[in-house]
Amino acid sequence: MTWLQYTHLEKLYGYLPGMADALPTVFGMTATEYADARAGFAARASAAARGLLAEPGFAARVDALPFEDGQTVLAVGDSVTDDLQSWAEILRCLLEHRKPGVRVVNNGLSAHTTTMVLRRWPATVAGVRPDWVLCGLGGNDVTRVGPDLQVAPDDSVANLRRMRAFAPAARWAWLTPVPVHEDRAARFPAFQFGASSWRNGDILALAKKMRALDGPLVDLVTTFGAPPDPRLQGEDGVHPTLAGQTAITRAVVDRLTA
């Protein structure tokens, strides 16, 4: 279920004949089990959206979002976005309730850095033709593999600016990386196997440099805290809980309607 939540081969290899039909088998499920599992994630995202809409004044803020009827909002990011119950999926549910003429495309790609996304970005822009881009990349840039960052902060920001240049007609907003629970991440077997680690100091450094980008910045360091509120970060210390994803969604709506 964890692999299914964060791994979506159809985004990476959708051009391969039969990929969609093969996905249940890839995850060791029948077609019915696969559909039911995905429906469960969708239901939790929908419930999170309904919870937000029940908060005083929140529905009015969703109504005030600067997305117009007929527009496409492209969510870009890593596994925090690719999650089947991510902030992008909760945002989709909010808009289905309050602005049904707005389309949300979730282009989160688990384990991707800004450099990796940049490589496939021109084709993405040409295919989606977004009116808005909500970009939450950088969490894998600040992953240390052994002692070193995958992408240095200045290079991360340069990559984000290159992405912006490929979609000059779209309006952009940026999400900083999410702070991590360093100890939880250090104990997590998969991260130990991959010699991967995170330092909140690296996340704060990249978030600071992202303030120079053109467009609204959603400061998830402030939203989560550093170290983060333990209710918002999951067992592995890196991937937010549903409560964390809901907090990200709230922060996005609040920032875009400020």
Q: For residue 20, what is the domain's CATH number?
A: 3.40.50.1110
pLDDT score, position 14: 87
pLDDT score, position 8: 96
Per DSSP, what are the bridge partners of residue 170? Answer: none
230: domain range?
Answer: 2-256
Distance CA 56, CA 93 (A): 18
Distance CA 246, CA 242 (A): 6
Task: Evaluate if residue 81 carries a pLDDT over 90.
Answer: yes
Indicate the average pLDDT of the chain.
97
| Alpha carbon distances (Å) from 222 to 78, 138, 163, 238 | 20, 16, 25, 16
Interval 63-71 mean pLDDT: 98
Cα 224 to its chain centre, rounded Å, is: 15
For the chain, what is the domain count? Answer: 1
Strand order in the sheet with 148-149: 148-149, 144-145, 196-197
- 8 A C-beta contact, residue 218 and residue 174: yes
Is this structure's pTM higher than 0.85? yes
Task: Evaluate if residue 160 carries a pLDDT over 90.
Answer: yes
Kind and range of the H or E element at 132?
A: strand 132-136
Q: Convert the pLDDT of each residue in 6-40 to its tens digit.
A: 999 999 998 899 998 999 999 999 999 999 999 99
Work out the percent of the chain whose per-residue pLDDT is above 70: 100
